[in-house]
Amino acid sequence: MREATAIAHPNIALVKYWGKRDLRLNLPAVPSLSLTLGGYRTRTTVTWGTSRDEIVLNGLMGDDPKVRRVLDLVAPGRPGVRVESDNDFPTGAGLASSASGFAALVVAAAAAAGRALSVDALSALARRGSGSACRSLFGGFVQWPLGTEPDGSDSVGVPIAPADHWDVRLLVAVVSEARKDVGSTEGMTRSQETSPYWPTWVAMGPGLVDRAREAVLARDLAALGEAMETSTFAMHATMHTAVPPLLYWQPATVAALHAVFALRRDGVAAYATMDAGPQVKVLCAAADAERVRAALVPHVLRVDVHAPGGPARLVP
């Protein structure tokens, strides 16, 4: 038996992935761009060669078929495997736990299996568990292009600037820690199949990613913030106009958004994004983080402040 442990951080998309052009390979309908978060982490230990599979997620026995599928892809014909994974933040509540979870899983599993895989191959494997996980192999700002290869081998995370490129903060305003009722795959399918705005959303994606990448490289917060908010509100418009509608927002989500807009009226460069959950995530300069945090706190359960985080990695 061989054992390996890895840690990975979640990432938050500044330009969103929402929709799949290939469900089995988890290939995206739109390109995306994310920031890896320094403050939250998943820690996963994989033991290779047990008598049967045992999957323990956050201390609870779980039998997630996606975990087994990814393990089968790491080493076809594999033996039994034990996976023990813990998050130091809420799971399945729109805090990108699946991204850090699958990134840590592939890094630990490949090492425990004795397979030396490139980081691109690891990113493609993580993508099979959860699309956004392909970005969590890398630290800092990461792009996930559409790719052109039919097998998806070039639709993987591409680092565009490391964590220390830009002294920004991403604040997570936690509105609820409950698990969401509609998961991202079901939500994407529903938006894709029923929203009249779907074609517009897909057409906007490449231009938004280009604008955001240039803004990151130029450290232009106003330009990045504008692309970010355009992306998030366009994505939520496809959710709101799905049949039946998907509304991940709670009253506190809207209150936090208004707080961000009020900060901007007061001259603070703070910009919001939201995922398939009620939390509001706010990007700002490190120097403004305390002011932004204070403005969000009255509206939500708590506010976590993240510096940019590093890549998924093995730990002793």
State the CB neighbour count (10 A cutoff) for residue 312: 32
In the window 237-276, what residues touch ligand PMV (CB under 6 A)?
Answer: 275-276
- Please state, in angstroms and rounded to a whole number, the distance separating the CA atoms of residues 172 and 168: 13
For residues 270 and 283, the answer to whether their CB atoms sit within 8 Å is: yes
Residue of the chain from 36, 87, 100, 184 that contacts ligand PMV (CB under 6 A)? 184
12 or 215: whose CB is closer to ligand PMV? 12
Q: What angle do CA 232, 233, 234 make, to 5 degrees?
A: 90
The window from 11-19, 50-58, 74-82, 285-293 that contacts ligand PMV (CB under 6 A) reads 11-19
Which range touches ligand PMV (CB under 6 A), out of 13-21, 168-176, 214-222, 299-307?
A: 13-21
Is 89 a binding residue for ligand PMV by CB under 6 A? The answer is no
Which of residues 108 and 276 has its CB atom nearest to ligand PMV in the complex? 276
In the complex, what is the shortest distance from the CB of residue 11 to ligand PMV, in angstroms, rounded to a whole number? 7
Buried b or exposed e, range 246-257, using 16+ CB within 10 angstroms: bebbbebbebbb
Q: Is 42 in the site for ligand PMV (CB under 6 A)?
A: no
User: How would you label 146-166 residue by residue, b for 16+ Cβ within 10 Å and e otherwise?
Assistant: bbeeeebeebbbbbbbebebb
Asked if 14 interacts with ligand PMV (CB under 6 A), we say: no
User: Is residue 279 part of the contact set for ligand PMV (CB under 6 A)?
Assistant: no
Distance in angstroms (rounded) separating the CA atoms of residues 155 and 26: 9
Rounded CA separation 231/164 (Å): 25
Nearer to ligand PMV, 20 or 82 (CB): 20
Which is nearer to ligand PMV, 126 or 168 (by Cβ)?
Answer: 126
CB-wise, 241 or 264, nearer to ligand PMV?
241
Q: Let me know: does 133 contact 125? Beta carbons within 8 Å.
A: no
Site size for ligand PMV (CB under 6 A): 13
| Near ligand PMV by CB under 6 A: residue from 44, 45, 47, 130 | 130
Q: For residues 310 and 314, what is the distance between their CA atoms, to the nearest angstrom?
A: 12
Quick one: which of 38, 131, 147, 278 contacts ligand PMV (CB under 6 A)? Answer: 131
84 scored as a contact of ligand PMV (CB under 6 A)? no
Shortest distance (Å) from residue 183 CB to ligand PMV: 8
What is the sign of the dihedral through the CA atoms of 202, 203, 209 and 215? negative
Query: Around 292, how many Cα atoms within 13 Å sit in the side-chain half-sphere?
Result: 30
- Binding stretches for ligand PMV (CB under 6 A): 13, 16-18, 32, 98, 130-132, 184-185, 275-276
